[in-house]
Structure 1
Amino acid sequence: MATLPSTKQCVSRRKFRIRLRSPKDGTIQSATVKLRGKTVATRKGKRVTAPIDLRGLPKGTFTVAIRVVLTDGRVVTGSRTYRTCAPKRSAAKTPKV
């Protein structure tokens, strides 16, 4: 149903788009994407994409919930959990002598 980035690695400070594909036996009428329970995007049309912005969020897990309404009235739902991690620490620079 949805093409989403991998959940295997930290995606902290990342911004990406998810692309929702129509099932073989239906066409998307509308789609709603939520992050942390808040609506991020509501889309209509054939090529449905939605932005997901995890930049600046604290370390932890966040769920992206997707609700798609098909033209025949069926509702398809799905979710994916992403893990953010602490920003990488820069290596301490040693002063040149």
Structure 2
Amino acid sequence: MRHEKVLIDGSGNPIHNALGEMLIFDRGKLYDVKDRNKRLGCPHSGVNLNFELILEPLETDVPQCMTQILEYKNKFKTVVIKIYALDYKGGNL
């Protein structure tokens, strides 16, 4: 799920700057942005929105399955919210 990491110096210590009493860590990419655009696990990618947009036409194409489609969309939104929450929690560790 992560797309960046904290950079370390030659001694293995995290590289950071201070802003008042807050530490700001230097970050590096774990994988390329083009890969991130295909991964559902990255909360900041357009994949989440694109996946949801794929479901939109189904509502008119198969109206008899509307209940199932809405349930699926709600489950998907729940997963995305969990991804955001984990990303936020990870960013504050």
User: Please, what TM-score do these two structures have when normalized by structure 2?
Assistant: 0.22
Higher strand share: 1
Between structure 1 and structure 2, the one with the greater Rg is 2
User: Please, what TM-score do these two structures have when normalized by structure 1?
Assistant: 0.21
Specify which structure has the bigger relative contact order, considering alpha-carbon pairs within 8 angstroms and separated by 6 or more residues: 1
